[in-house]
Amino acid sequence: MTRSGAPTRTERVYAELRADILGGRQRPGARLPFAELTARYEASMGVVREALSRLAAEGLVESEPQFGFRVVPLSIADLQHLTAARAAIETLVLGQAVEHGGVSWEADVLAAHHRLEHTPQRAEDDPSRLSDDWTVAHAAYHHALLAGCPNPRLLAVAESLRDAAELYRQWSVPLAHAHRDIAGEHRAILDAVLAHDPDAATAALTAHIQHTTNVLLEHADTDLNDTATA
CATH number at residue 128: 1.20.120.530
Question: Considering 35, 51, 71, which residue would you say is the last residue of a domain?
Answer: 71
- Alpha carbons 37 and 30: distance in angstroms, whole number: 12
Residues 6+ positions from 151 with CB-CB distance below 8 Å: 93, 96
Q: How do residues 63-93 score in pLDDT, each as one tens digit?
A: 988 788 999 888 889 899 999 999 999 999 9
Note whether 56 and 100 are same-domain residues: no
Give residue 138's pLDDT band: very low, low, confident or very high (50, 70, 90). Answer: very high
Residues 6+ positions from 65 with CB-CB distance below 8 Å: none
Query: Residue 154 domain-assigned?
Result: yes
CATH number of domain containing 63: 1.10.10.10
* CA-based R_g, the chain, Å: 18
The closest alpha carbon to 142, from 74, 89, 179, 181, belongs to: 89
Question: Considering 56, 71, 86, which residue would you say is the last residue of a domain?
Answer: 71
Note whether 105 and 182 are same-domain residues: yes
Query: Residue 83 domain-assigned?
Result: yes
Query: Residue 3 domain-assigned?
Result: no
> What is the number of domains present in the chain?
2
Q: How do residues 119-128 score in pLDDT, each as one tens digit?
A: 998 878 777 6
Query: Residue 4 domain-assigned?
Result: no
Note whether 60 and 96 are same-domain residues: no
Note whether 175 and 93 are same-domain residues: yes
Note whether 42 and 151 are same-domain residues: no
Note whether 120 and 220 are same-domain residues: yes
Note whether 27 and 141 are same-domain residues: no
Q: How do residues 32-41 score in pLDDT, each as one tens digit?
A: 999 999 999 9
Question: Considering 22, 47, 71, which residue would you say is the last residue of a domain?
Answer: 71
Note whether 46 and 95 are same-domain residues: no
Note whether 81 and 182 are same-domain residues: yes
Element (H, E) at 85: helix 76-100
Note whether 26 and 89 are same-domain residues: no
- Spatial contact of 48 and 11, defined as CB atoms under 8 Å apart: no
pLDDT tops 80 at residue 139:
yes
Query: Residue 207 domain-assigned?
Result: yes
Give residue 173's pLDDT band: very low, low, confident or very high (50, 70, 90). Answer: low
- Alpha carbons 212 and 175: distance in angstroms, whole number: 10
User: What values do phi and psi take at 28, rounded to 5?
Assistant: -55, 135
Query: Residue 172 domain-assigned?
Result: yes
* Burial of 168 (C-beta count, 10 Å sphere; 0-12/13-18/19+): buried
Q: Which domain holds residue 128?
A: 76-228
